[in-house]
Chain A
Amino acid sequence: VQWGSAVRSLADFAGEHGLALTRFAYVLCGDRGRAEDLVQDTYLALYRRFGDDLPINAPVAYARRAIVHANASRSRRRSSTETPTAELPDVAVEGAFPDEQDAMWRALARLPERQRAVLVLRYYCDLTDHEIAPLLGATEGTVRSLAARAFVHLREHPELATNSVEDLR
């Protein structure tokens, strides 16, 4: 799709990119219901900003930015209907993923949002730090710092603290 001068309807955009955006939102926030909320909010943001048509150059990138920041905002303006829990509500189906991936998912759930966002943008969206920086409203140095701190936290997670190939040598 050439977005340069194209005008797409919001419905078409949702049809083409809705699933990918929902997956992105899910790995970002770790909760399916919230991911759908974030995507719905993003449709709303697009509609309110651009109306029925989307005459913008990169609506997917725009939507990703909207999701990242809506996720941060939702965390700060927590719905009164949310039930406080100690863990993220999504629980992996037993055996659905390798143990290490389960462990990583649990470790990711404990990361501060910006650190997790950096990891998602780097390793799920394959964006460079240069591309990530404006998404987070940060400098590249801050992005690198957030990633480094995230790695420290991941290594400190008890389930990820061992089992390196290097350790086995």
Chain B
Amino acid sequence: MKTDTELEALLRETFAGRAQTVERAPALAAPAKAPRRFRPWIPALAAAAAVIVVAASIAIAKNVDRSAPARPSPSPTTSRPPAPTTCPASLPASWEAAVKHATLVPNGANLQPLAVSGNGTVLAVRGANPDTEQFTVAVVTPDRHVSPVVLQLGMNITADGRSPAINDRWAVFGTRNIAWTNDAILWAIDLQHGLAARKILDLTEAGATGGKTLQDWLLLGDNVYYTASDTYPSTHYRLYRYDLRTGTRTELAAGPRLTMHSVYGSLSYRPRPTPTTWGAQVVLVPGDMPSNVPAAVTDGMHTVVTDGTDVAWSELTRTSTGRHVQSAYWWAPGTAAPVLALQQRVQPELRDQPAFEVSSVAGAFVFVNPYDATGWRVLDTRTHANAPWTADESNAAWFAWAAGGGRVAIEYSGAKFGPNTTYVPDIASLPELTCR
């Protein structure tokens, strides 16, 4: 048996030898905005801080006074009513049973859910087939009817996880080159006319019109709103509206780092002159955002998610002691005030950066990605339960990406190189979580 010294020497030799076989670095590609629901810069920062301080003040409370709208950056000093501590919980066996009972499609391995419409239809992607170089997107209705859309794109293409969306008429998603994120194509599928696919924007084409670097997009009714910049590097974005019915593209605004937000049919944007300063919010489409959902959700560093009814979001505040605290809120129409779903102190090194992301909401459940190795957490806003959602297998994980129409799309990513499976249980079938 090798001694520690021998193993250490062998490790050094092995690493050094293998490293020397790498003779080139990737060229600096034009950065595109990271996926909305997977933001690589945040975990990096979370890591930089050596992890989120979990303990501090995880709390859940109902009926929190939120009369003052939250701000996109930490407010100077905020006093909040004390919130009771959340209770640790475990997911009951009935939770996993309910999830596993609802496979998206039989034998649907490696279908990755992207979005769920208001009627429960799921937009999913199977990805590229290395043999045929075909990229397959699937539209799966609640009765499990699968309609595939096959695109001939090449094998180095992956789904762009930024803002996939589906409504009753359209599905909109992006694809990009695995290595070169700016080689993106923004697609639309007409769900009512033979699943015809079209390109809204193709950045792989020379002389692409409507921007050269895609930043973000949103589907709203028959329109796709997207932001793009003309050059790299550039923080000067243009905001376009693409009418899916007519194919008309209209430039609506231009400015520094325009960041769009949409909830309840509304669409607003705000410019960001510097990385830490924000301009005034501009409402493009009023929609019917309830007054209880603050304009807060306009912070580009945070997500607002909805299952069509319930809404969850997060915000950062600064306490009287100068510490930053990130809070997640859940709100459902008809309830008096948002529920403080999670409150967590942010490690000082993170400064004003979020320490976790509200990834999705499904009924009373809020799914949080804490950007560390502990896995996602499930919060039950009815009982204040806060449960880790870990997989039995090493390196496997559960994700809840989207919800709509009373269903939530859940992905199980198997252990290293194992298959992933998608489940779409009815939210009502998931058991209420109780504290230990």
Contacts from A to B (Cβ < 8 Å): 10-11, 14, 18-19, 21-24, 26-27, 32-33, 35-37, 39-45, 47-52, 62, 65-66, 68-70, 72-73, 75-86, 96-98, 100-101, 104-105, 108, 112-114, 119-120, 122-124, 133-138, 151, 154-155, 160-167
Complex contact B43–A70 (CB within 8 A): yes
The segment out of B46-54, B59-67, B244-252, B285-293 that lies at the interface is B46-54
Complex contact A104–B48 (CB within 8 A): no
Judged by DSSP, the binding face of A is helix
Residues from chain A with a CB closer than 8 A to the CB of B157 are: 81
Complex contact A105–B14 (CB within 8 A): yes
Residues from chain A with a CB closer than 8 A to the CB of B383 are: none
Known: A86-B417, A113-B395, A165-B6. A44 touches B130 (CB 8 A): no
Residues from chain A with a CB closer than 8 A to the CB of B45 are: 45, 49
Kindly state the separation between the CA atoms of A19 and B46 in the bound complex, as whole angstroms.
24
Determine whether B193 belongs to the interface, using a CB cutoff of 8 Å to chain A.
Answer: no
Complex contact B178–A73 (CB within 8 A): no
Specify which of B4, B34, B178, B373 is in contact with A44 (CB 8 Å cutoff).
B34
Kindly state the separation between the CA atoms of A43 and B344 in the bound complex, as whole angstroms.
28
Kindly state the separation between the CA atoms of A76 and B20 in the bound complex, as whole angstroms.
28
Complex contact B419–A100 (CB within 8 A): no
Residues from chain B with a CB closer than 8 A to the CB of A24 are: 19
Specify which of A40, A70, A82, A100 is in contact with B44 (CB 8 Å cutoff).
A70
Complex contact A114–B373 (CB within 8 A): yes
Residues from chain B with a CB closer than 8 A to the CB of A162 are: 1
Kindly state the separation between the CA atoms of A161 and B7 in the bound complex, as whole angstroms.
11
Determine whether B321 belongs to the interface, using a CB cutoff of 8 Å to chain A.
Answer: no
Complex contact A40–B419 (CB within 8 A): no
Complex contact A39–B11 (CB within 8 A): no
Complex contact A137–B156 (CB within 8 A): no
Determine whether B397 belongs to the interface, using a CB cutoff of 8 Å to chain A.
Answer: yes
| B180 nearest CB neighbor, chain A only | A40
Complex contact A137–B31 (CB within 8 A): no
Kindly state the separation between the CA atoms of A11 and B110 in the bound complex, as whole angstroms.
37
Complex contact B44–A65 (CB within 8 A): yes
Complex contact A14–B28 (CB within 8 A): yes
Contacts from B to A (Cβ < 8 Å): 1-4, 6-8, 10-29, 31-34, 38, 40-41, 43-52, 110, 112, 125-128, 130, 155-159, 161, 178-181, 233, 235, 275, 371-373, 394-395, 397, 399, 413, 416-420
Kindly state the separation between the CA atoms of A85 and B31 in the bound complex, as whole angstroms.
30
Rounded to whole Å, the gap between the CB of A79 and the closest CB of chain B is 5
Complex contact B235–A51 (CB within 8 A): yes
Complex contact A40–B179 (CB within 8 A): yes
Known: A75-B395, A77-B38. A33 touches B22 (CB 8 A): no
Specify which of A70, A80, A104 is in contact with B158 (CB 8 Å cutoff).
A80
Complex contact A108–B14 (CB within 8 A): yes
Residues from chain B with a CB closer than 8 A to the CB of A133 are: 50
Apart from A97-B17, A97-B18, A135-B47, what are 20 other A-B pairs with CB-CB below 8 Å? A11-B28, A45-B44, A47-B233, A50-B275, A51-B275, A62-B48, A69-B47, A72-B373, A73-B40, A75-B416, A76-B399, A79-B178, A80-B128, A80-B420, A81-B156, A112-B394, A113-B395, A124-B19, A166-B3, A167-B1
Complex contact B1–A76 (CB within 8 A): no
Complex contact A78–B130 (CB within 8 A): no
Complex contact B44–A10 (CB within 8 A): no
Rounded to whole Å, the gap between the CB of A109 and the closest CB of chain B is 10
Residues from chain A with a CB closer than 8 A to the CB of B395 are: 75-76, 112-113
Known: A11-B28, A26-B18. A164 touches B1 (CB 8 A): yes
Kindly state the separation between the CA atoms of A123 and B19 in the bound complex, as whole angstroms.
12
Kindly state the separation between the CA atoms of A19 and B6 in the bound complex, as whole angstroms.
28
Complex contact B25–A22 (CB within 8 A): yes
Specify which of B17, B47, B112 is in contact with A68 (CB 8 Å cutoff).
B47
Complex contact A32–B22 (CB within 8 A): yes
| B38 nearest CB neighbor, chain A only | A77
Complex contact B46–A119 (CB within 8 A): no
Complex contact A44–B32 (CB within 8 A): yes
Kindly state the separation between the CA atoms of A66 and B40 in the bound complex, as whole angstroms.
8
Complex contact A160–B2 (CB within 8 A): yes
Specify which of A18, A23, A76 is in contact with B19 (CB 8 Å cutoff).
A23
Known: A48-B31, A78-B413. A104 touches B22 (CB 8 A): no
What are 5 A-B pairs with beta-carbon distances under 8 A? A22-B25, A40-B26, A75-B395, A83-B130, A124-B16
Rounded to whole Å, the gap between the CB of B332 and the closest CB of chain A is 28
Complex contact A41–B12 (CB within 8 A): no
Rounded to whole Å, the gap between the CB of B316 and the closest CB of chain A is 15
Rounded to whole Å, the gap between the CB of B388 and the closest CB of chain A is 14
Complex contact B18–A105 (CB within 8 A): yes
Complex contact B41–A22 (CB within 8 A): no
Known: A68-B47, A81-B158. A101 touches B40 (CB 8 A): no
